[in-house]
Amino acid sequence: MQFLLAFVVAAPLLGAVAALLPAPPGLKGRSPEQAVLRHGVTVTGVILAAAIALALGFDHNAPSRFQATTDISWIPALDVRIHLGVDGISLPLLVMTALLFFLCALYSYFKLPAGPSPKAFVALLLVLECGTLATFAVLDLLLFFLAFETVLIPMYFLIARWGGAQRQAAAWKFILYTLLGSVVMLLGLLLIGVTADTFDMVALASDNGRELSRTTQLLAVLAIGIGLAVKTPMWPLHSWLPDAHTAAPTVGSVLLAGVLLKMGTYGFVRILLPVTPDGMQTVAPYLGAFAVVGIVYGSLACLALARKGNKGDLKRLIAYSSVGHMGFVLLGIASMSPTGVNGALFANIAHGLITGLLFFLVGALKDRYGTADLDTLAGATGAALYGRAPRLGALLAFAAVASLGLPGLAGFWGEMLALFGAFDPAEGLSRPAFLTYTAIGAFGTLLTAAYLLVVVRRVCMGDPKAGPELAVADVQHYEFAAWTPLVALTVLAGLWPALLLGLTDPAVQQLLAGGNS
């Protein structure tokens, strides 16, 4: 177990180095490009297998305890340690990350986005995987910051070199927003580490803020929270996200929504809730207010983009939907209650699966029609997807109803539990304020259903014979292979939520109690 976790974190970096080396003669296949793409599939597949083995070997009777731990001194002068471990909170995120990277590598093997060398593409993809997996596995504040920042450069280049229109501007906006937020976050992490005389996240969580004054906690929450909120993204720090998603290649959008956004909310749960509880209690009502504004704002932006004649980009619409969905995650965290935090963690996983599938599907539509413009897709060239490509239309409708929170699918449980958590927040928080947030959040679910059903009606329904005869390819074999796991897990998590909640709940209970239960 100890070796498996270290391997999962380190293997992508080793694979990235290997991707830049010449392929051995016997492994070149038909071309060097094919060889390096196959290398990406192989490395991400091995990492996924190791992550699954880690999950199978995990002691499910003790999900609140960190397992598969490694603790090695790295910088003694600063007491920085290479400290790794997983519990019921981080394990699902680790496995989902490994799965999404494997599916993206598999999809790219058959549908590589236009751009420079495939070697660079695969190497950047693997460096990105290393940073995201490390973020969910490290238990040292400075290592967390390093892993958190590792993802910025590869994602910048994936957008800037393999993206679509306006990719340079979108890439610069992405990196400037996130870097500025990270600088402020580093100050907060250093404030905690220097004041408490340790950067060890386990020791800090067990101490539950007793070594930190209320003022120190509040300053740390504000500083760290800004950096995490940018990555989440929280309204009004979200404006980089629609541009980045619109310009990014398909796999870049899948990973940005499915993995990178989760790093911000994971930081709220792993660091701020247990380490600075008094500071979080002060900030929580404001965090809840920003969360519900984001829910409504994201939904209204999507409704505006979905209206006929507005030339709304479907990728941009799904990006704005992420602002709303992540608002539910932040609302659950702001409630500081076990129900709300469990809902936030469940919604994290559900959003990764469902929105990852949605971006795959929109990428497929863009490949077939040459555009993601909703008016074009809903016009004579693209209407009646059910009739032109029934499997693709059915998958788009499935992903849409899963995203709007249909009971029986994964999207339902996280948002419902987040609202329940806000309905009964932790002791010391304003009940009237959070009841207001609950009502606004519930209204947001209606707006979410409205814009997603509009999209399905405009793109999928209609008479396929009304427009020109178009040969629209239905789901291809590689698309079926890449999308089926996401569909299956969305159904499984919706029908059997205890599979995930059984892992997260004991860990959340202990985390909120400061290691005392």
Tell me the mean pLDDT in the region 403-416.
90
pLDDT range class, residue 517, cuts 50, 70, 90: very low
pLDDT, residue 312, reads: 77
- Asked whether residue 56 carries a pLDDT value surpassing 50, the answer given is yes
pLDDT range class, residue 516, cuts 50, 70, 90: very low
As separate numbers, helices (DSSP H) first and strands (DSSP E) second, the chain gives 23, 2
Q: Higher pLDDT residue, 344 or 80?
A: 344
pLDDT, residue 382, reads: 52
Of 49-58, 74-83, 276-285, minimum mean pLDDT range: 74-83
pLDDT range class, residue 116, cuts 50, 70, 90: confident
pLDDT, residue 371, reads: 78
Residue-wise pLDDT for 155-178, tens only, equals 999 998 888 778 888 888 888 888
CB contact set of 286 (below 8 Å; sequence gap of 6+): none
- Asked whether residue 509 carries a pLDDT value surpassing 70, the answer given is yes
Q: What is the mean pLDDT of the chain?
A: 87
Q: Do residues 269 and 345 make contact, with C-beta atoms less than 8 angstroms apart? A: yes
- Selection from 244, 241, 231, 256 nearest residue 351 by Cα: 256
Provide the percentage of residues in the chain whose pLDDT is more than 90: 43
Question: What CA–CA distances, in Å, run from 494 to 200, 258, 392?
Answer: 36, 18, 22
Q: Report which residue type is found at 257.
A: A
What's the per-residue H, E or C state across 3-34? Answer: HHHHHHHHHHHHHHHHHCCCCCHHHCCCCHHH
Residue-wise pLDDT for 14-50, tens only, equals 999 988 887 665 555 566 678 888 889 999 999 999 9
- Selection from 478, 485, 216, 253 nearest residue 366 by Cα: 253
Q: Higher pLDDT residue, 47 or 516?
A: 47
Q: How far apart are the first and last CA of the chain?
A: 25
For the chain, what percentages of helix, strand and coil (3-state, to nearest 5) are there? Answer: 75, 5, 20
Residue-wise pLDDT for 450-497, tens only, equals 999 988 888 877 666 655 556 677 778 888 888 999 999 999 999 999
| Residue environment code for 132-160, b if the CB has 16+ CB neighbours within 10 A, otherwise e | bbbbbbbbbbbbbbebbbbbbebbbbbbb
Q: Do residues 100 and 259 make contact, with C-beta atoms less than 8 angstroms apart? A: yes
Tell me the mean pLDDT in the region 101-108.
93
- Asked whether residue 379 carries a pLDDT value surpassing 80, the answer given is no
